[in-house]
Structure 1
Amino acid sequence: MVDGITPERVREIVAMADQPVLRNLLITRGYHRLTLAMAQLLGQGDFAWPIFAVWASKQAGQFIREEELGAGVSAILAARLPGLPVGVAVGAPVRRALAQVARHVGGGNTIVFAELGEAFAAFSAAFAEPAARTEERLADVVGRFSEGPSLPDVVTLAADGALERQPQGGQTMLREALHYYFMALHERSPAIRAELVLLANGLCGLHEQTRLQPYIAGALSAPLTDLQGVVEGPVAAALGVVVRRAATELMMTMALPGQVLRLGFDLPAPPGQPLWPDGLARLEHPRLVQLTEELGAYEARERRLGLADRVEDWLGFGGPEAQGSGADDWSQLGDRMRYIFEYFRSRQRDASLLAPPFSAAQEQDMLAGRVPAGPL
């Protein structure tokens, strides 16, 4: 266990509904602590799902704080509609649309942490001592989560604009992931352990992206819905398109230490590293291969590559890339998961992602219940 990230602390952070910005920062910080805790357990440089959640949660913060998205909207409006007064970009209708985008992204950020944050907090605490790594202890951890398929929430808007959610389905996929992490704790073969961790990471990713579906779709549709009937004529349509475009561009960008990924393009290799780390260049575990087939990744993806991708791969333009992995439509679960799985696979041993997301001073502010000043 690292720095007191317990299931109880996860629930305390999730309950901070009246402080969405601080809650997001604490979620991001919490994922980093869970990353370090899981790294202590697994060893050997194969990193578990929370290491990817750190940077996704930090990216979500740009929506939740609204000002970055608002600046993007203003910039796009100035370029596309130079005759439109700048004040329109920050007027009440657009602010309302931005607030709805923030609510959807914040809702998704929170529900994922509520489930997976608790799972990794419980797992890392239960198995901190090697002697405690028993099947009986695993049953206790897994028993926290319900049987049933991963399903998206039913999300509706209340009269005051708040999100109301009705959870659906269960957590069988998350339970399965915890089993594979447990197997990795006991596995001595580096290659097999790497595949077990990737399989668990992929299952966590598929579960959380399924749960996120209405929040992502809602964030992208909110501008078009909110601006209808509020601003008249072609200006309304233009504003809706611009806000959605800015949200989509921000949503399909992932800032990592030393690199910015554009999720609509094929995934590049980590800087100075091969595309796939040792042990993951060729996947053999039957359940892992089955998952890649379901996600349209790995050999299934390679079989469907078009001529342009194949020529680019043969000629080696732009360095190693996961050809055909770029997402066409981030609102589609299949598009997201094709990219996300390859991202997990390529960065599973990328130690640069262990970097803390915030400075020591910023962390002290958050622990004191304050939102740090300045850029985050």
Structure 2
Amino acid sequence: MHIPSPDEVRAIAAIAEPTIRNLRITQCYCELSTAFIGRTGPVANWCTFATWASKQAGQSIRREDLLRSMEARLNLAQLEELKLVWRVAGELGINGGLEQRLHGIIRNAWLASITDRISDAVARGNRKVFEEIGWEFARFFSLCVPDEAFDQQRLDTFCAEFRPGNPPDGQQYLKQAFTNYYQAFFEQDPQLRTELQLLANLEIGFHEQTRLQPEIAASLNAALAVDIEMVRKQIIDSFFPPDSWLARIRLAYLKITGKTSRLDAAIDQLMNRLQGIVRGLLTTHLMTLTIPPDLRLSLGKDLNKPYPAPLLQLSCAGLLAMLSEIDPTPDSVAQSGAIDWADLRERIHFIAELFRCYHFDTALYSDAFTPQQVATMKDGKLPAGRL
């Protein structure tokens, strides 16, 4: 069983190419999860969930089907705002290929820019979390996991590296989490051991999600971040080509006489409408998590999986205190769906329920990739097959 070292984590985080880096991050999480389960038994740890979240992120980083999906679901031909642009353009004497030109600009300039922004934001978040938390798990393995007896001095040495304070800058929750993991290694009461492990997962999850807030907001708001002035200019240039002096003279005349104001207004209406539609599509795309064996969870819907029996009734004071802060519906998955994934409180509520419901789900311990895919990615190449 391969256990990634801190140096290996650092080397993976330093990979410049985002697609290969994401694959290596996902595989490293899987290896860390497997090794951790070897120490704790069949209980999910934070790396278990991180494996599948990172694999899901890879789809966005690779831009898999996102552009095509947005194009298909936009249904441009039926948008009244697009028809308005055509009508106003026709009234200004602009004819011939309007539909094709507008579709091309929306697809090639605007939607492509959005998918690029999403890919960049997700890749940044993927690396940001891994180079911090993946590193700490590898460091934990090298220093504390092999212990056969509780060693307070060794634990203190490990925890001394953490920055005090709350996230996003402080690492107090990470310190608490790894302390709880370590205590769980030696806890004789099986119920308390299970609750300490869940508490540690939640503490890391809270730290992670707080740190990821800028990247998640950037992904969901990618449609709003594209320079609308740039898109408007491209549309105007397609109607009045810069290389045609007659067209530019005509454009200047229309501007002087105020006749382009309706066209500008129509373009603004179109872009506002498109932004709203695409924001919804991006929310649906990004609020999806696929876990083994091909279970596709919508993060906007309540979980329908019951709590495992050992986690129906909780007694660990630290866990109860943590849940009182992040779970507004105690001991119930009701209202666990996050309406807005950019809202940290909604997001962490869903994650708390996810961690609790799937704490003993052995399907999550599956390999993320085939042995051949792992060998290929570790050779710095993109593996074949489904990723």
Q: Would you say same fold, with TM above 0.5?
A: yes
- Per the alignment, do residues 79 and 362 of structure 1 end up closer, same or farther by CA in structure 2, a change over 3 Å counting? farther
SS at match of 2:309: coil
Contact 2:3 / 2:32 at 8 angstroms: preserved in 1? no
Q: Does 1:235 align with 2:232?
A: no
CA distance in 2, matches of 1:297, 1:199: 17
The aligned counterpart of 1:293 is 324
Contact 1:263 / 1:326 at 8 angstroms: preserved in 2? yes
CA distance in 2, matches of 1:199, 1:241: 38
Amino acid at match of 2:354: Y
Tell me the alpha carbon deviations over residues 312-344 of structure 1, each in whole angstroms, 9 at most, x when there is no partner: xxxxxxxxxx21111111100000011100000
The aligned counterpart of 1:221 is 221
Q: Does 1:338 align with 2:349?
A: yes
CA distance in 2, matches of 1:79, 1:193: 55
SS at match of 2:231: coil
Q: Does 1:15 align with 2:9?
A: no
Q: Does 1:266 align with 2:302?
A: yes
Contact 2:328 / 2:349 at 8 angstroms: preserved in 1? yes
Amino acid at match of 1:129: P
Tell me the alpha carbon deviations over residues 198-251 of structure 1, each in whole angstroms, 9 at most, x when there is no partner: 100000000000000011011111221214222231332243334322321111
Contact 1:77 / 1:89 at 8 angstroms: preserved in 2? no
CA distance in 1, matches of 2:14, 2:346: 32
User: What are the equivalent positions in structure 2 for 1:1-376 lying under 5 Å apart?
Assistant: 2-16=1-15, 18-43=16-41, 45-78=42-75, 81=78, 85=100, 87-88=104-105, 90-131=107-148, 133-151=150-168, 169-232=169-232, 233=267, 234-258=269-293, 259-269=295-305, 275-299=306-330, 322-376=333-387
Contact 1:94 / 1:227 at 8 angstroms: preserved in 2? no
Amino acid at match of 2:71: S
CA distance in 1, matches of 2:379, 2:323: 43
SS at match of 1:61: helix
Amino acid at match of 1:35: S
Contact 2:149 / 2:186 at 8 angstroms: preserved in 1? no
CA distance in 2, matches of 1:70, 1:283: 45
More helix by percentage:
2
Task: Answer with 66-75 or 283-292: which moved more.
Answer: 66-75
CA distance in 1, matches of 2:184, 2:203: 14
Task: Answer with 111-120 or 138-147: which moved more.
Answer: 138-147
Structure 1 residue 175: Cα displacement: 0.5
CA distance in 2, matches of 1:243, 1:102: 15
Structure 1 residue 297: Cα displacement: 4.2
Task: Answer with 233-242 or 347-356: which moved more.
Answer: 233-242
CA distance in 1, matches of 2:276, 2:288: 18
Structure 1 residue 374: Cα displacement: 3.8
Contact 1:227 / 1:236 at 8 angstroms: preserved in 2? no
CA distance in 1, matches of 2:14, 2:123: 13
Paired residues in the alignment total 331
Amino acid at match of 1:68: D
TM-score computed with the length of structure 2 as normaliser: 0.81
CA distance in 1, matches of 2:304, 2:106: 34
Structure 1 residue 298: Cα displacement: 4.8
Contact 2:165 / 2:172 at 8 angstroms: preserved in 1? yes
Structure 1 residue 293: Cα displacement: 0.9
Tell me the alpha carbon deviations over residues 268-314 of structure 1, each in whole angstroms, 9 at most, x when there is no partner: 21xxxxx1113211111111111111012452x75xxxxxxxxxxxx
SS at match of 2:297: strand
Structure 1 residue 133: Cα displacement: 4.7
SS at match of 1:283: coil
Q: Give the CA RMSD over aligned residues.
A: 1.9
Structure 1 residue 88: Cα displacement: 4.5
CA distance in 2, matches of 1:140, 1:41: 20
Contact 1:41 / 1:128 at 8 angstroms: preserved in 2? yes
CA distance in 2, matches of 1:228, 1:368: 41
Which segments of 5 or more consecutive residues in structure 2 lack a partner in the other structure?
Answer: 83-98, 233-266
Structure showing greater relative contact order (alpha-carbon pairs closer than 8 Å, 6 or more residues apart): 2
Percent identity, aligned pairs only, is 35
Amino acid at match of 2:212: L
TM-score computed with the length of structure 1 as normaliser: 0.83
CA distance in 1, matches of 2:105, 2:355: 40
